[in-house]
Amino acid sequence: MADTLLSLENVYHRYSISRDIFNDISLNIKEGDFYFITGSSGAGKTTFLKLLSSSLRPTSGSVLFSGVNLNTIPQNKIYLIKRKIGFVFQDFRLLPHLTTYENVALPLKVQNKKEKNYKKDVVELLNWVNLEHCTHSYPNYLSGGEQQRAAIARAVISTPKLILADEPTGNVDYENSKKILSLFSEMNKLGTTIIIATHDESLISQQRASIINIENNGIRIQSK
Amino acid sequence: MNIINKVINKSEAKRVMKQLAPRPSSIISSTNFHSKYLFIVISLLSYLITILLTSFVILIGQPEFSALSIGMIQTSLISWVTLIFIIFIIISYIIIYGTHTSIIYNRNTINLLIQLGASNNFVISKIVYSFTKIGLTAGLTGSFAGLITIIFINPFLLQISGLFNNISDLVVVSSNSVYAQYYIFILIPLFIIAVCSISSYVTVKRLVKKYY
């Protein structure tokens, strides 16, 4: 029986007095789970991911990551939790003045790790995402699919327990979507928990995963 | 036409080389428009401080200066110190303004770094480092330019001193004060680095704590 990685207990979140986003939601996510988050635009998919990634604190209720209540962690120590979470953005967010290699190595660099200790891992990871030919290229020279694969490599490099992806296939074509999903699937087989927020029905149909549907300020879970 | 083709080929080769084997980049981009202006302005201020301090050192080394009344000496000392202090305040203000601009310009990078697990201290250190680098290069450039100016002016002053003996002692760089110039050459960049680091550190710490 897998351990619980993430746990939401009676989470309530509002942006303003007139705008509730979540009203008393509770959820348990186990290690090695694969979830899709669906919902209409503005339903709160990104807010949900922000709550899970500790970028946002709920108005009330608690979010527990590996048993640690994120509300109790001081703001200046929250980076320790963020290091255990990989994040993939719709717009890739690769730094344009860094090469693909440097972008992928960035999470390790911010942890002040020595390059000689991770150089081999970065090169291996770039081979895994089929970007070995772009190691020293700047992001502007890469296609959308290549940029997203570089972003996935960056999310994976620090071997996080959890990968959160916000519309990862929103800016790429169908073929690249399939490649990206297969990368997530491979990561999941290795034991990483994956949570993907998406609108893409074709993506959901390709992967056996549970679905969290956000609607009416609450969530509805469809188990796989 | 051959020359033009050669130039084009050379620049193309450079571009390809840059793409294939680029230099390691700093995480916070230092090619922002403001860093160039900061470098120029701080270099000029450093140059001004070098000239002012050198002339001050030369002046106090002259026998005519010690012959002045205590009140005159005090007034001139206070004026000089105040002037130099004001210049350092200006440098500090420019760095504070530059730090604000840098944080606004690099906000996406900073947001990303924080999302990737960077601590506040990591972000602060990267920004302070970029301003310390500007302080170091601008301080050295300005004081070196000041030193060169003094060295080049010296023979002309000596020439003038031959014509106007009365004022010569006041303006000519004597051999004793030449050593003082070298101390100034070392001290000014150090002071400018200290001002740049402290100003940017205080500003960036406050802003990172407030917004991130």
Return the beta strands (E) in B95-142 as ranges.
none
B200 within a domain of the structure (yes/no): yes
Output the pLDDT for position A5. Answer: 93
Output the pLDDT for position B26. Answer: 74
Lowest mean pLDDT among A54-68, A138-152, A195-209, B142-156: B142-156
Q: Where are the alpha helices (DSSP H) in A19-94?
A: 45-52, 79-82
Output the pLDDT for position B170. Answer: 46
Sheet holding A19-30, edge to edge: A19-30, A4-16, A60-65, A68-69
- What's the predicted TM-score (pTM) here? 0.81
Report the gap between the CA of A12 and the closest CA in chain B (Å).
23
- Which of B19, B108, B119 shows the shortest C-beta gap to A136? B19
Contacts of A137 in chain B (CB under 8 A): 19
Output the pLDDT for position B18. Answer: 54
Query: What's the pLDDT band for A1 if we cut at 50, 70, 90?
Result: low
Residues B58 and B153: their CA atoms lie apart, in Å, by 13
Q: DSSP class of residue B26?
A: P
pLDDT digit string, tens, across residues A123-140: 999 999 999 999 999 999
A217 has pLDDT over 80? yes
- Which of A80, A93, A102 shows the shortest C-beta gap to B112? A93
Output the pLDDT for position B31. Answer: 56
Determine whether the interchain pair B117/A82 forms a contact, defined as Cβ–Cβ distance below 8 Å. yes
Output the pLDDT for position B66. Answer: 73
Output the pLDDT for position A47. Answer: 92
Q: DSSP class of residue A17?
A: T
A120 has pLDDT over 80? yes
Report the gap between the CA of B118 and the closest CA in chain A (Å).
5
The domains of chain A, with CATH numbers, are 1-84+160-224 (3.40.50.300), 96-159 (no CATH)
Cα A58 → chain centroid: 19
Output the pLDDT for position B71. Answer: 82
Greatest alpha-carbon span in chain B: 73
Output the pLDDT for position B186. Answer: 86
Lowest mean pLDDT among A10-19, A79-88, A205-214: A10-19
Determine whether the interchain pair A111/B117 forms a contact, defined as Cβ–Cβ distance below 8 Å. yes
Two tokens, residue B18: 């840059």
Determine whether the interchain pair A82/B114 forms a contact, defined as Cβ–Cβ distance below 8 Å. yes
- Which of B109, B115, B118 shows the shortest C-beta gap to A87? B115
Report the gap between the CA of A17 and the closest CA in chain B (Å).
23
Report the gap between the CA of A96 and the closest CA in chain B (Å).
9
Residue numbers in chain B where pLDDT is lower than 70: 1-2, 7-8, 12-25, 29-33, 154-181
Cβ-contact B74, B68 below 8 angstroms = no
> Among residues 144-203 of chain B, which lie with CB inside 8 Å of chain A?
none
pLDDT digit string, tens, across residues B135-187: 999 999 999 999 888 888 766 665 665 555 554 444 445 555 556 667 888 89
Report the gap between the CA of B212 and the closest CA in chain A (Å).
9
Determine whether the interchain pair B20/A99 forms a contact, defined as Cβ–Cβ distance below 8 Å. no
- Which of B21, B27, B29 shows the shortest C-beta gap to A109? B27
Output the pLDDT for position A112. Answer: 92
Across the range A183-209, mean pLDDT stands at: 92
Cβ-contact B203, B99 below 8 angstroms = yes
Output the pLDDT for position A152. Answer: 94
ipTM, interface predicted TM-score of the complex = 0.90
B115 within a domain of the structure (yes/no): yes
Determine whether the interchain pair B31/A97 forms a contact, defined as Cβ–Cβ distance below 8 Å. yes
Residues B60 and B176: their CA atoms lie apart, in Å, by 11
> Among residues 68-127 of chain B, which lie with CB inside 8 Å of chain A?
108-109, 112-120, 122
A163 has pLDDT over 70? yes
Mutating which of B27, B116, B121, B123 best tests the A interface, going by the most A Cβ atoms within 10 A? B116
Q: Where are the alpha helices (DSSP H) in B61-69?
A: 63-66
B111 within a domain of the structure (yes/no): yes
Report the gap between the CA of A92 and the closest CA in chain B (Å).
11
Cβ-contact A174, A139 below 8 angstroms = no
A192 has pLDDT over 90? yes
Residues A27 and A63: their CA atoms lie apart, in Å, by 9
Domains in chain B: how many in total?
1
Determine whether the interchain pair B117/A53 forms a contact, defined as Cβ–Cβ distance below 8 Å. no
Range of the domain at B92: 40-211
B87 within a domain of the structure (yes/no): yes
pLDDT digit string, tens, across residues A10-24: 999 988 777 788 988
B55 within a domain of the structure (yes/no): yes
B27 Cβ under 8 Å from any chain A Cβ: yes
Across the range A78-91, mean pLDDT stands at: 93
